[in-house]
A = this chain, B = another copy of it.
């Protein structure tokens, strides 16, 4: 391999590939980035246990003097390219499994990793695939993935359950204390589908997706899913097992409904979280509807003090007064993914899950289980 490449473009693509770079791995080859130069272009590949990325370098000025494939130590290569001066970098594969990196007045030699140890990866595109707008995909991920479980004792809950039914795509996530659900309408009808994609994979995918009007192709396979976005192929494993039936968790009737200004509700809960018997975001906060239709948000920590917030709801409260306690972390995280500035909180009973919806967040529902207090 012997090429000349624009430094900034190389770095840009390296930083995409970096999202799937392993830091700790039993296979040292996975600490490497595979650089394949062939047919006038360069392809960068990385992989860890959850995801693999394959990105084609977009650089019209790329000069290929000799084709070839090398496996560079990822962390060092990225740091070197980041720090180089000059516009152009020359990469030359030398004898003894070395890569020579030349730019401006720098002459750097890097020991390469063994290409033979690199696993074969299958970025296989299917004939039938789902087409979805980048923005729509980002919305459904942003509004669900935060609610996945971070604890591994029920691995299936660490993923988001995506199902397709005709023209409807639904994403659901729950850690068994709260649940997020978002449905979107697709532009055409698809065969039924039901997969669980790891939440962490989706978080990494989000970092690569830009905010634009383009489309992403989603290719589903037996135990993996491939996202194709511009010059990037993003492969994630799927979680095995049956995702729990979540429909039953969602109450069908809500005798009490309160419409809040979202920002006011968020800041009140945040202040109440400051002084609570449990630390930080796991604070337990109480919500109490008074007879005079004022909502109290409160917390109490005998050692530190207490907070009492009064909120006048946006509309008249529907239903009779209610008292409920919840973990502020769950409610705050849910509130923050709404686009609407007004939120309707719907209650079924003091120990039943309550639900949040917003007028400008169509087909999106956030559910939180209350906490029992004495």
Contact = CB atoms under 8 A, between A and B. Distances in A.
A36 interface: no
Contacts of A311: 105
B271 A111 contact: no
Interface of A: 73, 76, 79-80, 83-85, 98, 105-111, 267-268, 270-271, 274-275, 303-311
Contact of A105 (B108, B110, B309): B309
A208 B160 CA distance: 47
B111 A305 contact: yes
Given A83-B267, A109-B305, A111-B303, 14 more contacts: A76-B274, A76-B275, A80-B271, A80-B275, A83-B274, A85-B267, A105-B309, A106-B309, A108-B275, A108-B307, A109-B306, A110-B304, A110-B305, A111-B305
19 contacts: A73-B304, A76-B275, A83-B267, A83-B270, A83-B271, A83-B274, A84-B271, A85-B267, A98-B305, A107-B307, A107-B310, A108-B275, A108-B307, A109-B306, A109-B307, A110-B275, A110-B304, A110-B305, A111-B304
Contact of A274 (B79, B267, B308): B79
Nearest to A306: B109
A212 to B, nearest CB: 34
A353 to B, nearest CB: 27
Contacts of A76: 274-275, 304-305
A305 to B, nearest CB: 4
A264 to B, nearest CB: 8
Contacts of A271: 80, 83-84, 106, 108
Contacts of A73: 304
A349 to B, nearest CB: 27
Centre residue among A108, A303, A310 by max chain B CB count within 10 A: A108
A305 B271 CA distance: 53
Nearest to A271: B83
